[in-house]
């Protein structure tokens, strides 16, 4: 095989891989490894390059001066006909890359050669109901296990050396609309996962499982009124309801099918010993059916990792009527204010506002728009609650003459958000957040709807359209202390992939046009671009091996945009789907 290798040039079966690779077995991933991931450069063992999710690396061999010489050293194809929506972040440990592909597949790849070591394909039933493409965002590593979620709502733990199943657990009923798409995280030996399915009226939840055995430790529903449980010594014990009484901020029984899916997964900050999970839209979309704040939908939750207790919550869009999910990652960071260190956390919401919170208490510190236009609110009050523009809420179908369709309004951002799932990065050098965002609007209207298990539960119609001819995507450098935009890069197609910041004064990001790009972190000047052959909607990583710095990114166009994008989908319809992971490094003399 040539040095520039395609992993599918010859297939290695799981059996052969097990025979050849078992002799290379090494020590597994520990809790210490995971907690130190942001500081160790020889591997990547957590989603977000550290449980805080900052996506920052201290590596700097690849920098603003040398990045121009970055070369592809191998590309591995996921193969088959399942080439779409590759939103994964790879992991790297002891010379092996672990990466997921669409349709609930996992691959182990030799990082020196790009050759496949093993592949696992989940046996999915015909009735899976993924809302927003057949994607998966990555694995968790612990001990000798590779753990991931499937589209039929199972957690699966595989042996890292062979790909053989060690344990498997059902997290939800796929026939009711549950699925798993997020990369799980491991905290204190527990696998922590959220669930997808908010468009089907499921009940969101966060759950913890013993990483070694798969035994459930606790479950915490994220809709007010539902009971949580904790398991101790094999006994199941009630662990309190989520929030107040059933239906306190919900009318009637709608809380029973309230949505609030935790579909992006979470982060963790050891300084305050809290998990941070975001929750999705309340169900149904038609907000006139459910007057009230509809807790804990469209919110950020701080959860005790030992018990599943909700310690605090912050709701970004009470009584959400635009599908402005609050799932976007909450990233912990510290900053100095008048000589005092503030333990903060920041999030860029689908609704177009960026929020800085006190991560110890959940108190609102400041909020500001990070997109050019917001139509549904005039701003935020002193507590961070949106000041609604009532005329820009989709109309009530009950008030229509035919009772079938409420008044349509133009809303900005669209329901796909000022920022969607694609994770931002925080640079410890510049103190800036690098936010992948989109400028688009929607026409949206409400319709009557009733719940039926396993059926779409929207009660709304919509059409998305760009707000500019020249661009939709904008990579923004945002100052969390001032709320000011420092620089921006405009992209013709929507941005849908994650961002990586490094000590080399670089910001890496991919776009749907297929380019892996690198920007000067201080001024936004593009320093590098390389076309991978398909749109990038994954999240890049970097690590070092044998004294050399590597960069990897998954390529494969798909996700929600071509499925839901209306007029925007027309703009990107020529883009080719794919499924591969690319790895780059500097030539020897430059590194």
Rounded Cα–Cα distance for residues 330 and 341 (Å): 18
Residue 4's CB is within 10 A of a number of other CB atoms, namely 11
Contacts for 333 with CB less than 8 Å, ≥ 6 apart: 52, 54, 344, 345, 346, 426, 480
Taken in order 110, 114, 118, 120, is the CA torsion positive or negative?
A: positive
φ and ψ at residue 564, rounded to 5 degrees:
-115, 0
Q: Is 479 a catalytic residue?
A: no
Task: Evaluate whether 97 touches 111 at the Cβ level (below 8 Å).
Answer: yes
Q: Is the peptide bond between 510 and the residue preceding it cis, with omega within 30 degrees of 0?
A: no
**Contact call for residues 172 and 261 (beta carbons, < 8 A):** no
* Residue in 323, 349, 363, 381 annotated catalytic: 323
Taking the CB of residue 276, how many other CB atoms lie within 10 A of it? 26
Q: Each residue of 51-65: b (16+ CB within 10 Å) or e?
A: bbbbbbbebbbbbbe
Backbone angles phi, psi at 570, to 5 degrees: -65, -35
Q: Are the C-beta atoms of 18 and 117 separated by less than 8 Å?
A: no
Q: What are phi and psi of 14, to 5 degrees?
A: -60, -35
576 burial via Cβ count (<10 Å: 0-12, 13-18, 19+):
exposed
Residues annotated catalytic, as ranges: 323
């Amino acid at each position: 095989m040539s040095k520039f290798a395609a992993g599918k040039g010859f297939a290695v079966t799981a059996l052969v891989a097990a025979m050849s690779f078992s002799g290379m077995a090494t020590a597994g991933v520990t809790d210490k490894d995971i907690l130190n991931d942001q500081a160790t450069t020889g591997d990547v063992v957590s989603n977000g390059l550290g449980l805080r999710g900052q996506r920052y690396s201290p590596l700097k061999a690849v920098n603003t001066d040398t990045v121009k010489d970055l070369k592809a050293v191998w590309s591995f194809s996921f193969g088959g006909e399942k080439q779409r929506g590759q939103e994964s972040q790879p992991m790297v440990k002891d010379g092996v890359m672990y990466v997921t592909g669409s349709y609930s597949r996992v691959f182990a790849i030799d990082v020196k050669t790009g050759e496949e070591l093993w592949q696992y394909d989940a046996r999915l039933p015909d009735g899976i109901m993924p809302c927003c493409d057949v994607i998966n965002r990555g694995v968790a590593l612990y001990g000798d296990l590779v753990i991931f979620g499937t589209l039929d709502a199972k957690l699966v733990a595989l042996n890292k050396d062979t790909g053989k199943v060690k344990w498997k657990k059902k997290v939800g009923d796929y026939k009711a609309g549950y699925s798993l798409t997020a990369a799980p995280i491991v905290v204190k030996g527990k696998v922590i996962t959220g669930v997808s399915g908010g468009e089907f009226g499921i009940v969101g939840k966060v759950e913890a499982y013993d990483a070694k055995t798969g035994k459930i430790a606790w479950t915490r529903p994220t809709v007010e009124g539902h009971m949580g449980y904790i398991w101790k010594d094999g006994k199941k014990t009630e662990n309190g309801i989520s929030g107040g009484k059933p239906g306190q901020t919900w009318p009637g029984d709608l809380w029973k099918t309230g949505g609030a899916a935790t579909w992006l997964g979470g982060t963790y900050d050891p300084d305050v010993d809290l998990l941070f999970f975001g929750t999705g839209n309340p169900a149904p979309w038609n907000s006139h059916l459910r007057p009230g704040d509809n807790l804990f939908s469209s919110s950020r939750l701080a959860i005790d990792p030992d018990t599943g207790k909700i310690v605090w919550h912050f709701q970004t869009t009470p009584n959400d009527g635009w599908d402005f999910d609050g799932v976007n990652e909450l990233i912990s960071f510290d900053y100095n204010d008048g000589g005092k260190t503030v333990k903060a956390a920041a999030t860029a919401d689908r609704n177009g506002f960026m929020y800085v919170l006190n991560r110890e208490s959940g108190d609102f510190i400041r909020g500001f728009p990070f997109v050019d236009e917001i139509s549904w609110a005039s701003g935020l009050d002193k507590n961070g609650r949106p000041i609604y523009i009532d005329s820009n809420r989709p109309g009530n179908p009950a008030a229509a003459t035919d009772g079938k369709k409420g008044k349509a309004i133009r809303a900005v951002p669209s329901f796909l958000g000022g920022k969607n799932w694609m994770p931002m990065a925080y640079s410890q050098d510049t103190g800036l957040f690098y936010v992948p965002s989109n400028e688009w609007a929607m026409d949206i209207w409400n319709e009557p709807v009733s719940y039926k298990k396993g059926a779409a539960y929207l009660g709304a119609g919509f059409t998305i359209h760009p707000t500019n001819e020249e661009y939709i995507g904008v990579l923004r450098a945002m100052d969390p202390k001032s709320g000011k935009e420092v620089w921006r890069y405009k992209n013709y197609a929507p941005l849908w992939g994650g961002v990586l910041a490094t000590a080399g004064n670089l910001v890496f990001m991919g776009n749907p046009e297929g380019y892996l790009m690198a920007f000067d972190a201080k001024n936004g000047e593009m320093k590098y671009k390389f076309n991978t052959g398909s749109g990038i909607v994954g999240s890049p990583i970097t690590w070092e091996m044998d004294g050399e710095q590597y960069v990897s990114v998954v390529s494969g166009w798909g996700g929600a945009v071509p499925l839901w994008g209306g007029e925007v989908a027309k703009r990107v319809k020529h883009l080719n789907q794919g499924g591969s992971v690319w790895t780059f490094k500097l030539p020897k003399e430059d590194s």
